[in-house]
Structure 1
Amino acid sequence: MEGLFFNVDFGYIEGLVRGYRNGLLTQAQYANLTQCDTLDDLKLQLSSTDYGNFLANVPSPLSTSIIQEKASSKLYDQFNYIRNQSVEPLAKFMDYITYGYMIDNVALMITGTIHERDRSEILERCHPLGWFDTLPALSVATDIDSLYTSVLIDTPLAPYFKDCLSADDLDDLNIEIIRNTLYKAYLEDFYEFTQRELPYPANETMKTLLEFEADRRSINIALNSFELELSTEDKMKLLPQFGKLYPAGITMLASAEDFEQIRSVVETVIDYRGFFDNLNGDKTLEDHFYQLEMELCADAFCQQFTVSTIWAWVKSREQEVRNITWLAECIAQNQKERINNYICVN
């Protein structure tokens, strides 16, 4: 029934996103890019794609960082254009997408500050989609309380901070704990929003995509916490309480004491089987996650009358930028034998 009225508010945006998605690099275009011998060759090949003349005003010599920056800027411009056209509940959905980048920016600013790095340099590294007006003021925070009361209380992240105020000092470990606690609260809130506010099939598609995101974070946290003095209870506070691994798998991940225990838990989910095989080869665990994410995003575009295609498009474009950056690095470092180790998007 919702499909009858979907196009009234969201038809233009869905058409726009599907058009953007059709502009993703094809396998033939990737094949041409892998044949490039210099970054200028790469620039020429990209000019015949939807990226067009995005490097036209960049002075020589080209660098990988400039190519990544300019490719990312195209995504940010398109995202902000969609955001400016949206109405509720899509406008709130677009806001939720930016919250994850806000959390990363907060962690980056605090980490840079405690290590006395130049503020302008830190701000340049902040993600554009996670920018908020009081972000530069984070550099004056010296403890959790001042961080919250002077800066974050007026941002959308404020509700997620209620479980982060127990840390005493702003050191590297506590900042990472804060970041993961914030992300857990954010993902759970986003998940609840999509199930409550989005109509079918958007809610079902986002359920699948966000469950994958929650499981990926849980697995990575479990793997990275072996050398930290965190109890099972402490770990449980960092792991999202939903996903295909929830509830039994999450509990076992929090109490796992070695790699094999984590592996046995993860492989109870059929979608994740084989992820830990041959990790010393060309594919890393993160590569397996990226590959599955692209498959889920491709499936999301098989549905009609759904705003979940926006999330799928953003993730697909981010992977495409990673692919272009990888190709550029292989060319710049003369590592052509590894140039085909990118993640297929289409």
Structure 2
Amino acid sequence: MAFALYFNENNGYLDGILRGYRSGIISRTQYSNLTQSETLEDLRLQLGATDYGTLLQNEPSPISTSTISEKLTQRLVEEFDYIRANAVQPLTKFLDYITYQYMIDNVILLITGTLHERDTHELLERCHPLGVFDSMPALCVATTVAELYNTVLVETPLAPYFANCLSAHDLDELNIEIIRNTLHKAYLEDFYQFCQTLGGPTAEVMGEILQFEADRRTINITINSFGTELSKEDRRKLFPTIGRLYPEGNARLAVADEIDQVKSACEVFHEYRPFFDTVTSNSTLENRFFEYEVFLNGISFQQQFNYGVFYSYIKLREQEIRNIVWIAECVSQNQKDRIGSYIPVL
């Protein structure tokens, strides 16, 4: 009871705001209406009847899929920024952790661009807005990977992950995916431990969500390493040390050579067993992951007095944006036979 009173006193207003945001998530009926669109202008009109309202009405015609994606993401970022601006500790720190995953991808994008001698100012425009941080413009002055590494190490919130996992020597093109996965591993483990220190419903809700994220990453690393030069020992080092697969499942995946061995290691867990039924490609498996992610983030709202809903809302909205962009692409490319292959959020 004391925890509930403490939560409501410090976070009750924002929890109410967030649940109000969630009530605007597109329904199955609205998705059905979107899929009836013959053109992107039709889609714009249909979106006007959803919670997005007039968001797109001032965009010049013809509207593009990229514009739709950009504006929907901008709305999500504005909502997140409002929540963060009004949050107090420890919710503030929890919200910071949400942004770290996007920071990692943004920094990897900039590192990759530096390796290829791309204009980092152009790359900045491609960075995810949830992963933008104050010192990011400083990355643009780096002309070598070593300079970029030193800037990241000293000036960004990701410094502990770089310092503990990597050296400037690691930053070469051959290792870029290893770097990405090493940083995400460190991030997941750190976020998980932070949520456990919060205790209560947050530890329970986020524990389940982050363990699934760790398992998904472990499975993807395993499958994507088949037929590559990545050694099994190096593969094992990339696996997060949390998750339901850890440690026995991880040990089996570390030595797997084919998809059937991955299936065998995962089917011990009943919730993962359906992922591999009639799987014909990585894209099919990816959709199964997205479906389960939506399920976990949806049920987090059934638990009161937990910070997990702030994480889950971001993930549900992201899936909604992916759905709308998918529908828009099908409309623009006249691929109406595939337009129903989205993953409903409600």
Structure 1 partner of 2:83: 82
Alignment size in residue pairs: 344
Greater displacement, 326-335 / 164-173: 164-173
1:263 positional shift: 1.6
SS of residue paired to 2:342: coil
Structure 1 partner of 2:331: 331
Aligned residue identity for 2:301: F
Contact 2:153 2:160 in 1 (8 A): no
Q: Deviations over 1:133-159 (max 9, x none)?
A: 332333525245x33333331211111
Q: Deviations over 1:87-128 (max 9, x none)?
A: 011000000000000000010011112112232321111011
Contact 2:48 2:54 in 1 (8 A): yes
Contact 2:115 2:145 in 1 (8 A): no
1:262 positional shift: 1.2
Q: Deviations over 1:205-224 (max 9, x none)?
A: 00011011111111111111
Contact 1:239 1:250 in 2 (8 A): yes
Contact 2:170 2:179 in 1 (8 A): no
Aligned residue identity for 1:151: V
Structure 1 partner of 2:268: 268
Structure 2 partner of 1:155: 156
Q: Deviations over 1:26-77 (max 9, x none)?
A: 0110111111111111110111111011112211111111101111111000
**1:294 counterpart = 2:276:** no
SS of residue paired to 1:274: helix
1:5 positional shift: 2.2
SS of residue paired to 2:275: coil
Q: Deviations over 1:301-333 (max 9, x none)?
A: 111111211111110000000000000001000
Structure 2, unpaired ranges of 5+: none
SS of residue paired to 1:284: helix
Q: Trace 1:176-215 onto structure 2 (pairs within 5 A).
A: 176-196=177-197, 198-215=198-215
Q: Deviations over 1:13-38 (max 9, x none)?
A: 11111111110000110111111111
Contact 1:99 1:186 in 2 (8 A): yes
Greater displacement, 261-270 / 202-211: 261-270
Contact 2:114 2:145 in 1 (8 A): no
Aligned pair in 2 of structure 1 residues 227, 162: CA closer, same or farther (>3 Å)? farther
Contact 1:160 1:185 in 2 (8 A): yes
> How large is the RMSD of aligned CA atoms in angstroms?
1.7
Structure 1 partner of 2:5: 4
Aligned pair in 2 of structure 1 residues 77, 16: CA closer, same or farther (>3 Å)? same
Structure 2 CA distance, aligned partners of 1:204 and 1:141?
A: 44
Contact 2:11 2:87 in 1 (8 A): yes
SS of residue paired to 1:43: helix
Aligned pair in 2 of structure 1 residues 339, 296: CA closer, same or farther (>3 Å)? same
Structure 2 partner of 1:98: 99
Structure 2 CA distance, aligned partners of 1:278 and 1:141?
A: 48
| TM-score between both structures, scaled by the size of structure 2 | 0.95
Aligned pair in 2 of structure 1 residues 100, 17: CA closer, same or farther (>3 Å)? same
Aligned residue identity for 2:151: S
Structure 1 partner of 2:39: 38
Of structures 1 and 2, the one scoring higher in RCO (CA 8 A, sep 6+) is 1
1:260 positional shift: 1.5
Structure 1, unpaired ranges of 5+: none
Aligned residue identity for 2:249: G
1:334 positional shift: 0.5
**1:71 counterpart = 2:94:** no
Structure 2 partner of 1:14: 15
1:282 positional shift: 11
Contact 1:36 1:42 in 2 (8 A): yes
1:226 positional shift: 1.7
Structure 1 CA distance, aligned partners of 2:143 and 2:192?
A: 30
Percent identity (aligned): 57
SS of residue paired to 1:305: coil
